[in-house]
Amino acid sequence: MSVFYEKLKMMREKASLRQGQIVDYFGVTQTFISKVETGERNLTIEQVEKLRQKIWCY
């Protein structure tokens, strides 16, 4: 797993967000989010920015 995706997961958990809440926000599947957090899938720059905004608003 890449350090970047480990940090994203850590930030999500620190914000007390479940993967399901991210799924609702992005409109993707939980499998996609799970694969992103393990480094199997990648996010676009736009998705990273949107996730950053979601995590930091908590």
CATH 1.10.260.40 describes domain 3-56: yes
Q: Cα-atom radius of gyration of the chain, to the nearest Å?
A: 10
Reported pTM: 0.75
pLDDT tens per residue across span 3-46: 888 888 888 898 888 999 888 888 889 999 999 988 899 989 99
- In sequence order, the 6+-apart residues with CB closer than 8 A to the CB of 31 are none
pLDDT at 29: 93
Between residues 58 and 26, which one has the greater pLDDT? 26
Task: Report the pLDDT value the prediction gives residue 45, as an integer from 0 to 100.
Answer: 92
pLDDT, residue 54, reads 77
